């Protein structure tokens, strides 16, 4: 009889557009573990690309989805639902006083940020947005134009106008790029896809000062680095810098699609009635998942993220002495990059074989994004597997 994997592969090939090339068939997840169709279990240090930050099928999120799906799933935003403002209130309570618009993905959230910046800037004759080299903001046309990696834009010209990129962590480059048309600066406090590169504290402070001085909006893309990933609820809380607006998605629903933009209180009226919308944005079901995520993150999860993150960073750094292929180890909280002297993709299948899932970022960075609930024992297991994997790489 044909195996589940063979049948599934055939269906993919015949019916699913080939924009991805997945190899493993995963059938079950619990906490940090996922299982494939053959019953093999993997330590998941990818969390579905920083989505399942509370681990797979977290009981509080599963229960919230189960409960809400029996009460009210969708109303459209033409009607109030009690869960959406509850989640917005909880988000504001996490340390960013402002209002929220709900979307379904990171790219959709960033589209909202871009519209917010243009709506605010246009009456003042400004509509250009400065973003960073090596940044990633999504795959829609506007977010591609914002993204600082040309390879994603190739084949999709013309680029949407109104964006320019400058070197990240370089205040002079930013200062020189600002013109009378600049409406906003958009950046990831910790670059994710580009290679797990944190902004320096001094740099972000200077960016904030520059934006305030020039009357330019400072907007943070916290789609990957937010929702607890760096050890604070918002990534900007690692820095003494407050943005004017930010985007979130990925882990906000722990796997249930949910994105959001938040704008600071002084900008609450910029996007008024009829200026922006989303049929699925902020359904009671998505927001119930979001509420469960935010409530659960209030516990010891953030402290655990900081503690295990420092531990992993320290232990991985010591591996540098043993493996010259490691060029650097960097990150914040449980957003960790191990910079190799070769494509990180060389290591990923070896880790899979050894029972672990990890990711790449940029070309040469091994990206580790375990659930924020990861234990010391699981960190030690991951370190052991990574060490075994590195040993299998050709010299
Ligand atoms: C920083 C950042 N912004 C935006 C996105 C796009 O999010 P989505 O894939 O949900 O559209 C991503 C996705 O990886 C991201 O890392």
Residue-wise pLDDT for 206-265, tens only, equals: 999 999 999 999 999 999 999 999 999 999 999 989 999 999 999 999 999 999 999 999
Which residues neighbour 51 within 8 Å (Cβ) at sequence distance 6 or greater?
250, 251, 254, 255
The CA 106 to ligand 1 mean position distance, Å, reads 5
Check whether 1 has a pLDDT greater than 80.
Answer: no
Residue from 199, 222, 249 to probe ligand 1 pocket by mutation (most atoms less than 8 Å from CB): 249
Domains and CATH numbers, the chain: 4-57+300-392 (3.90.1150.10), 59-297 (3.40.640.10)
Strand ranges inside 109-227, DSSP E: 128-132, 163-166, 182-187, 190-191, 197-198, 217-221
Stated pTM of the model:
0.98
The CA 271 to ligand 1 mean position distance, Å, reads 22
Average pLDDT value for residue range 55-75? 98
Peptide bond preceding 354: is omega within 30 degrees of 0, i.e. cis? no
Residue from 146, 223, 245 to probe ligand 1 pocket by mutation (most atoms less than 8 Å from CB): 223
Average pLDDT taken over every residue of the chain? 97
Q: What is the CA radius of gyration of the chain?
A: 21
Q: Which residues contact ligand 1 via a Cβ below 6 A? A: 49, 105-107, 110, 136-138, 188, 192-193, 221, 223-224, 249
Residue from 20, 49, 107 to probe ligand 1 pocket by mutation (most atoms less than 8 Å from CB): 107
């Amino acid at each position: 009889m044909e195996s589940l994997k063979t049948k599934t592969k055939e269906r993919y090939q015949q019916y699913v557009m080939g924009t991805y090339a997945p190899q493993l068939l995963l059938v079950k997840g619990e906490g940090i573990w996922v299982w494939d169709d053959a019953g093999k279990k993997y330590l998941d240090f990818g969390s579905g690309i920083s989505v399942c930050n509370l681990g797979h099928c977290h009981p509080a999120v599963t229960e919230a989805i189960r409960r809400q799906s029996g009460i009210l799933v969708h109303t459209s935003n033409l009607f109030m639902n009690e869960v959406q403002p509850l989640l917005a209130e909880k988000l504001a309570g996490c340390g960013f006083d402002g209002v929220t618009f709900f979307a379904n993905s990171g790219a959709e959230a960033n589209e909202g940020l871009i519209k917010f910046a243009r709506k605010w800037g246009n009456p003042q004759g400004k509509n250009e947005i400065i973003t960073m080299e090596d940044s990633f903001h999504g795959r829609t046309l506007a977010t591609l134009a914002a993204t600082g990696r040309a390879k994603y834009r190739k084949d999709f010209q013309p680029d949407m106008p109104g964006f320019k990129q400058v070197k990240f962590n370089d205040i002079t480059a930013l200062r020189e790029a600002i013109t009378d048309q600049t409406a906003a600066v958009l950046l990831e406090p910790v670059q994710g896809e580009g290679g797990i590169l944190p902004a320096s504290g001094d740099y972000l402070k200077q960016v904030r000062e520059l934006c305030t001085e020039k009357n330019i909006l400072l907007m943070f893309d916290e789609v990957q680095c937010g929702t607890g990933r760096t050890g604070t609820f918002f990534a900007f809380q690692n820095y003494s810098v407050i943005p004017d607006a930010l985007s979130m998605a990925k882990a906000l629903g722990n796997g249930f699609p949910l994105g959001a933009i938040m704008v600071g209180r002084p900008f609450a009226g910029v996007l008024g009635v009829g200026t922006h919308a989303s049929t699925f944005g902020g359904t009671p079901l998505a927001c119930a998942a979001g509420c469960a995520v935010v409530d659960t993150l209030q516990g010891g999860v953030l402290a655990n993220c900081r503690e295990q993150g420092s531990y992993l960073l320290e232990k991985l750094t010591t591996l540098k002495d043993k493996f010259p292929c490691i060029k650097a180890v960097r990150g914040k909280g449980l957003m960790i990059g191990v910079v190799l002297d070769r494509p990180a993709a060389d290591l990923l299948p070896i880790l899979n074989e050894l029972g672990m899932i990890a990711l790449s970022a940029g070309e040469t960075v091994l990206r580790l994004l375990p659930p924020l609930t990861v234990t010391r024992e699981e960190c030690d297991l991951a370190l052991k597997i990574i060490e075994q994997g590195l040993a299998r790489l050709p010299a």
